[in-house]
């Protein structure tokens, strides 16, 4: 065979080889979503999962952990352990830590936009707008960490040579039922004020749309937020809310994600240890100005008397 013929034959074999390469189809690498408890990513202790589907098309999106009552109790233990460190940090430091979370959320905008679009059946543009609003709201609450004491506290006039000062302090462990209709903006709106005021949180994600919440756990794990400050569970809201409402080591309960008879039952259970309860609004507009109501909802007022002196 001539040198030219050999060269043509080699080119032909190479082309066949390249074509074979192009025909190879990669297997999809699906994301494994896990709980976020105590700064770690456990699976549900029961080993259960449930299917999460696109709210518009019904297509399968992922398997989410189906948390158990044991997972809820573990989350409370982690949240309680984190209370002294987080509530004892300076308000300025908490603000810096939360702002860092906003920076990281901004860097993962596209991922959260995809998850919000699937969760709420929205176009990419509308989902992106909601993610932007959620990041902005997180920044807004981060800015309040060292200002809310000036609004919620103050000096009280008394008859006598004393200073009488009222200062707000964190309530403690707050169980938060995330809204069912707003997978990310609503989630941020109920979670951020809890931790901005020095509390720790056990968050139950929206039952049908938990993926943005579970991805938020990944952001928190790589931020400066201490382990246990935020704990995120996914699963059946009613199944998880019941033990949280009755738990003696939970100090407050946000019923945003519960409605009707469930909310009434949880409120009754919470009364056993006089939990502070925030009732859900009949029609919450998550895009509206949130105000400071959710900040003061999770603060207790401490009053101190001190002699004025000479």
Calpha distance 118→212 (Å, rounded): 10
Q: Is the Cα dihedral 197, 201, 207, 211 positive or negative?
A: positive
| Domains, in order of start, for the chain | 49-307 (3.40.605.10)
> Count of CB atoms within 10 A of residue 182's CB?
25
**Model confidence over 241-256: pLDDT tens digits?**
999 999 999 999 999 9
User: What mean pLDDT comes out for the span 159-175?
Assistant: 92
CA distances from 287 to 130, 184, 208 (A): 8, 11, 21
Mean pLDDT across 99-121? 96
What pLDDT, on the 0 to 100 scale, is given for residue 109?
96
Residue whose pair of structure tokens reads 């009707």 in the numeric block:
260
Cα gap 146→229, rounded to integer Å: 18
The answer, yes or no, to whether residue 217 has pLDDT greater than 90, is yes
Is a pLDDT exceeding 60 seen at residue 58? Answer: yes
- Look at the block and give the residue holding tokens 């004025």: 308
d(CA 131, CA 284): 18
Q: What is the mean pLDDT of residues 159-176?
A: 93
Q: Which two tokens stand for residue 95?
A: 């603000």
Asked if 171 contacts 252 with a C-beta cutoff of 8 angstroms, the reply is yes
Spatial distance between the Cα atoms of 272 and 96, rounded to a whole number of angstroms: 36
């Amino acid at each position: 065979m001539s040198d030219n013929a050999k060269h043509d034959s080699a080119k032909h074999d190479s082309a066949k080889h390249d074509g074979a390469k192009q025909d190879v189809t990669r297997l999809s690498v699906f994301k494994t979503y896990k709980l976020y408890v105590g700064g770690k990513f456990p699976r549900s202790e029961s080993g259960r999962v449930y299917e999460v589907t696109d709210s518009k098309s019904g297509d399968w999106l992922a398997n989410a952990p189906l948390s158990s009552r044991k997972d809820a109790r573990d989350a409370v233990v982690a949240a309680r352990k984190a209370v002294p460190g987080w509530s004892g940090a300076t308000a300025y430091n908490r603000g810096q830590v939360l702002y860092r979370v906003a920076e990281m959320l901004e860097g993962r905008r596209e991922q959260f936009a995809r998850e919000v679009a699937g969760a709420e059946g929205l176009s990419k543009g509308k989902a992106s707008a909601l993610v932007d609003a959620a990041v902005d709201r997180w920044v807004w609450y981060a800015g309040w960490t060292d200002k809310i004491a000036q609004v919620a506290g103050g000096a009280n006039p008394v008859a006598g040579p004393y200073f009488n000062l009222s200062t707000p302090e964190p309530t403690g462990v707050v169980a938060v039922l995330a809204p069912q209709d707003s997978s990310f903006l609503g989630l941020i709106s109920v979670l951020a004020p809890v931790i901005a005021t020095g509390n720790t949180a056990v968050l139950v994600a929206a039952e049908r749309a938990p993926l943005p919440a579970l991805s938020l756990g990944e952001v928190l794990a790589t931020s400066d937020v201490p382990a246990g400050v935020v704990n995120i569970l996914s699963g059946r809201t009613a199944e998880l809310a019941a033990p949280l409402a009755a738990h003696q080591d939970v100090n407050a309960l946000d019923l945003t994600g519960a409605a009707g008879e469930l909310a009434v039952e949880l409120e009754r259970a919470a009364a056993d240890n006089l939990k502070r309860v925030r009732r859900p609004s009949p029609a919450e507009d998550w895009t509206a100005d949130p105000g400071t109501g959710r900040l003061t909802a999770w603060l207790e007022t401490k009053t101190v008397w001190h002699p004025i002196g000479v």
